[in-house]
Amino acid sequence: MTGPRVAIITYSTKPRGGVVHAMHLAEALHRRGTPVHVIALGDPARGFFRPLRAPHTVLPAPASAPTLEERVLDAVEALAAGLERLAPGRFDLLHAQDCIAATAGLRLRERTGIPLLRTVHHVDDFATPALVECQRRSIVEPDGVLVVSRTWRRTLRRDFGVRAEVVTNGVDAARFRRPPDADGARLRRRVGATDGRFLFLTVGGIEPRKGSLELVEALARLRRCVEPAPVVAVVGGHSFQDHGPYRERVLARARELDVAMGRDLVLLGTVPDDEVPRWYWAADAFVFPSVKEGFGLALLEALAAGLPVVATDIPVFREFLVPGEHALLTPPGDPEALAEAMASLVRDPRERGRLAERGPALAASYRWDETARQHEAVYARMVALRSRRGA
């Protein structure tokens, strides 16, 4: 093993974008010989949502508190206490993947001087002053800040006065590549996508930034103009935040529009990790109506699987998707335009084929090994800078 000893820190072991990024980055660094160790909050007996092929420690997560502010602050305390036990003398650099991890890392830096690097995947819409300030400090006070898109680099410069460096995201393209003998019949039967019903897949659960309400509105429009009515299957849904009120609003709107749960809209929740690629292979198309994303890892997975994609026309997606070439892009918050784009895929197999053909090559250009190489350069530079300052 060569290079700085790096602790990659994340708030969870669940399949959320920042956690997935941290795990793939750590595995790529480990393969390349960089001394890396992942530290996360979770259930030590269960570990991560999938086997992590890099050194790691799972610290016991605190019991769930009734408010988001309490949950965040309790998680900071638990992670900070764990870092105090694990990190001193073992690592040359702390790399935090979220607000909680960065806040805990700042405490250790104050005591030991270990430099802290923060990756900002996106900025949360916190409401309480304590959480707003916690997030602000976690962005402006680390020794270095990374982002995975130019969009968020501009946002951090404008809103926080922080100069961030862009590193690319990645995807395990080989894992999601559709095999010639892929058979999605069993999964399609599970969600009722039989007898010619078109199956749209989306990933991320029911929450405001995923555009779930607009998706329900679009699905209701589709049911009136497409026969037989399509099915939308939703994979995922774990979140540290409480989206219960929004979820109830979405489900109430679905009932008003006669969009039946389990028939038209199927909420699968978190599925086993080895089942995730099979859902991409079973689907006919991918729909991703997000109004805000850090990058959109699920889009890369869908492209790697050769799925035609409908997504929202937000700046972060424009960084790697060419409208009409890699995906159909619709204005965010516009269910009518979303429904029209989804209907065009249902009706036009040639358009589906054209879009699907271009996806795998684009996804294959986003490699975790390249992501790791970029991080190694940042790590070396930060540790060298600390050494010069110390001297």
SS3 304: helix
Mean pLDDT for the stretch of residues 259-274: 93
Q: Is the pLDDT of residue 109 over 80?
A: yes
Q: Give the contacts of 69 (CB within 8 A, at least 6 positions apart).
A: 128, 130, 131
Mean pLDDT for the stretch of residues 357-373: 96
Q: Is the pLDDT of residue 278 over 80?
A: yes
What is the sign, positive or negative, of the torsion defined by CA atoms of 102, 104, 105, 110?
Answer: positive
Q: Is the pLDDT of residue 10 over 80?
A: yes
Task: Give the rounded percent of residues in the chain with a pLDDT score beyond 70.
Answer: 97
- The tokens for 354 are 């054209």
Q: Is the pLDDT of residue 165 over 80?
A: yes
Beta-strand ranges (E) seen in 158-209 are 165-166, 199-203
Listed range (31-35, 60-64, 71-75, 204-208) with the worst mean pLDDT = 204-208
Q: Is the pLDDT of residue 391 over 60?
A: no
| Whole-number pLDDT of residue 240 | 61
Distance CA 204, CA 236 (A): 5
Distance CA 375, CA 383 (A): 12
Contact 15, 301 (CB under 8 A): no
Distance CA 41, CA 18 (A): 13
- Can you name the residues that pair with 146 across neighbouring β-strands? 119, 165
Q: Is the pLDDT of residue 239 over 70?
A: no
Contact 60, 74 (CB under 8 A): no
DSSP3 helix / strand / coil % (the chain, rounded to 5):
50, 15, 35
Tell me the average pLDDT of the chain: 94
Distance CA 229, CA 305 (A): 24
Distance CA 375, CA 258 (A): 49
Q: Is the pLDDT of residue 338 over 80?
A: yes
| Whole-number pLDDT of residue 246 | 86
Residue appearing with tokens 């006669």: 258
Distance CA 233, CA 268 (A): 7
Distance CA 19, CA 98 (A): 9
pTM of the model: 0.93
